[in-house]
Amino acid sequence: MDVVAVIVLAVIVILVFFVKRTFSGFVYSVAMIDIFLRIVNALNYRIFDGKGDIGSFISNYLPSSFESIIIKYTDSILQTVLIWGYIAIMIIFEFYIIKTFFHKK
């Protein structure tokens, strides 16, 4: 899981710095990757039951979310700060989604 977590974080950095250099771009990138990881994890346990070649690959090499990455690699105050930062990013993402929903015509 170590290599995959680094790859996921590298993908976020690439998305932020090369595709969209705004704060909203960062928020959308984090949310997209997190939602993708959660969908893959949910499908793994619904379809493959976490077993077999594909299920064990997903279970072993893909983190279930950003929160699981933070929990695995940090502890103490740093973990608390990063989790609250993650929650703030998700709240901002939700704000962007709601704002977009109500301003569409």
Contact 58, 40 (CB under 8 A): yes
Burial of 4 (0-12, 13-18, 19+ CB in 10 A): middle
Contact 62, 37 (CB under 8 A): yes
Q: What is the pLDDT along the chain (105 residues), one digit of tens a residue?
A: 567 767 766 776 676 667 777 888 888 888 888 898 899 888 888 888 767 888 888 888 888 888 888 888 888 898 999 999 999 999 999 999 999 888 876
Task: Please report the pLDDT score of residue 86 as a whole number.
Answer: 92
Alpha helices in the chain (DSSP H): 2-14, 23-43, 52-61, 66-73, 76-103
- Give, in degrees to the nearest 5, the angle at Cα 72 between 14 and 95: 55
Task: Please report the pLDDT score of residue 5 as a whole number.
Answer: 66
Residue found under tokens 């740093």: 78
> What is the total residue count of the chain?
105
- Residue ranges covered by each domain of the chain: 2-103
Amino acid at 80: T
Amino acid at 69: I
Task: Please report the pLDDT score of residue 2 as a whole number.
Answer: 65
